[in-house]
Amino acid sequence: MKKIAIIGCGISGLYFANLLQSKKIYDYVIYEKKSELDLNDGYGIQLSANSIKLLNEIGFNNIDVKEISFPKKVNFFDAKTSKKICDIDISKFNSENKRYTTLKRSFLIKFLLNNIPLEKIKHNVELMSVEHGEKIKLSLSNNLTEQFDYLIVSDGVFSKTKSILLAKDTSPKFFNSIALRGNIKNLDNNDISLYLGPNFHFVIYPVNQNKEFNFISIVRKKLSKNEVLNKNLFESSEFLKSLSNEIYKKTTLNLNGKLENIKSFPVYVSKKFENFKHKNIYFIGDALFAFPPSFAQGASQSIESGKEVFEEINNNTDTYYKNRRLKINKVNWRSSLNYFAFHLSNPIIILFRNLILKLLANNKNFLNNYLGKIYKD
Ligand SMILES: Cc1cc2nc3c(=O)[nH]c(=O)nc-3n(C[C@H](O)[C@H](O)[C@H](O)COP(=O)(O)OP(=O)(O)OC[C@H]3O[C@@H](n4cnc5c(N)ncnc54)[C@H](O)[C@@H]3O)c2cc1C
């Protein structure tokens, strides 16, 4: 039986483990640096039809639909006036059982953990070094050395394994933006609401059928190196208060007092797509490439990359990185363009942007190209 090591127990690593679990011709183990996974937070995640299709293959279509939501539209608003600009019908890209889905990230993780035997996950373990020849030899932080046939690297945007394997600094770059997220309850809109403001945007969407919603705002901010690295700053109540007040002041939507469990963190993105040449070592998810968070594709692409590596190993092909690079390019420029368009600040340019948005929202060819190529291909 071929032995596979997975580094990191996030969406990509767990999805990949589910594929291995379903095939039962591989022995595998997941190394996770944290002592436990957070299975209780209420923050949301959006999954487009491309990843729902792949999740259904491991039983996602059997879950309790009360725990997920199926928004049909993205409604665009001007944050300052709360006036609607236009809407895009994302349900056009759905097919039976493959619908654009929003849910709590913790619910997705619980679903992915469901089929994985507990003993397969080794907590509090990190990779220290790798020797690769015929077999891949891992030295681990628990002082053990283990041998594997394949190594799957899924340890997220700050992937330490990436710098170990590529023997250089591969740290991501601060995207000059801060994410502020929280939960809201009891709204009356089951679609995705996207509010565009100068130098920020925020998105509100349902995470289940219980009237619970996710709030996520991306605020453009230049910070010094020390500030970005200062975890206490992002957790301090003064900082959270001033950041939320900054948003409340810039929108007529009344959010004050409605957001719960507010948290903030700096947004990091990958500097470039690296050259990966190691035989039988595969990077997936954010460890491979992390996008700007303005196209909501990170988790979906993490799942797609896991599926592609699984196929590559099963079929003994050598096309994963070539094809993945093409897909990543497509998602990355769309994410960057969205970010640019969502954050415009010049009133005249904003007028043009809104006009163009209205035209594009009704242009079938554009939507098929811009969204369909990602959501359906
Ligand atoms: C603000 C924001 C909003 C987002 N919203 C969305 C959205 O709506 N839709 C969407 O599709 N995507 C979204 N994303 C992106 C998405 O969350 C990520 O792309 C996705 O979670 C990546 O999954 P992953 O498994 O690759 O990495 P992660 O989820 O980061 O998991 C990595 C795991 O590896 C572990 N680990 C780290 N280092 C080590 C180590 N050295 N050894 C062992 N284990 C290690 C970590 O503890 C963690 O458990 C968003 C991202 C941001 C920043």
Q: What is the pLDDT of residues 181-199, one digit of tens each?
A: 999 999 999 999 999 999 9
Q: Is the CB of 172 under 6 A from ligand 1?
A: no
Residues 362-377 have a mean pLDDT of 93
Q: What is the mean pLDDT of the chain?
A: 96
Q: Is the CB of 298 under 6 A from ligand 1?
A: yes
Q: Is the CB of 302 under 6 A from ligand 1?
A: yes
Token look-up 């949301």 returns 44
Does position 179 have pLDDT exceeding 90, yes or no?
Answer: yes
Q: Of all atoms in ligand 1, which is nearest to the CA of residue 300?
A: 11
Does position 23 have pLDDT exceeding 90, yes or no?
Answer: no
Distance 155 CA to ligand 1 centre (A): 8
- The pLDDT confidence band at residue 376, using thresholds 50, 70 and 90, is confident
Q: Is the CB of 179 under 6 A from ligand 1?
A: yes
So what's the pLDDT on residue 85? 98
64, 61, 60, 89: which is closest to 75 by C-alpha? 89
| Two structure tokens written together for 188 | 């009356």
The strand pairing partners of 119, in sequence order, are: none
So what's the pLDDT on residue 40? 86
Distance 264 CA to ligand 1 centre (A): 15
So what's the pLDDT on residue 119? 97
Pocket test for ligand 1, best of 19, 45, 126, 205 (most atoms within 8 A of CB): 45
Residues 213-219 have a mean pLDDT of 98
Residue with the bigger pLDDT between 173 and 97: it is 173
Residues 25-32 have a mean pLDDT of 96
43, 41, 70: which is closest to 214 by C-alpha? 43
Residue 105 CA: distances (Å) to CA of 52, 349, 363: 14, 36, 32
Distance 82 CA to ligand 1 centre (A): 31
Q: Of all atoms in ligand 1, which is nearest to the CA of residue 13?
A: 25
Nearest protein Cα to ligand 1, atom 29: 10
- The pLDDT confidence band at residue 305, using thresholds 50, 70 and 90, is very high
Residues 308-324 have a mean pLDDT of 97
pLDDT digits over 40-67, tens only? 888 999 999 999 999 999 999 999 999 9
So what's the pLDDT on residue 41? 86
Nearest protein Cα to ligand 1, atom 30: 156
Residues 35-40 have a mean pLDDT of 92
The domains of the chain, with CATH numbers, are 2-171+270-375 (3.50.50.60)
Residues 282-311 have a mean pLDDT of 98
- Produce one character per residue of 104-128: b if its CB has 16 or more CB atoms within 10 Å, e if not: bbbbbbebbbeebeeebbbeebbbe
So what's the pLDDT on residue 334? 98
So what's the pLDDT on residue 377? 63
Distance 348 CA to ligand 1 centre (A): 37
Burial, 56: exposed, middle or buried (Cβ in 10 Å; 0-12, 13-18, 19+)? middle
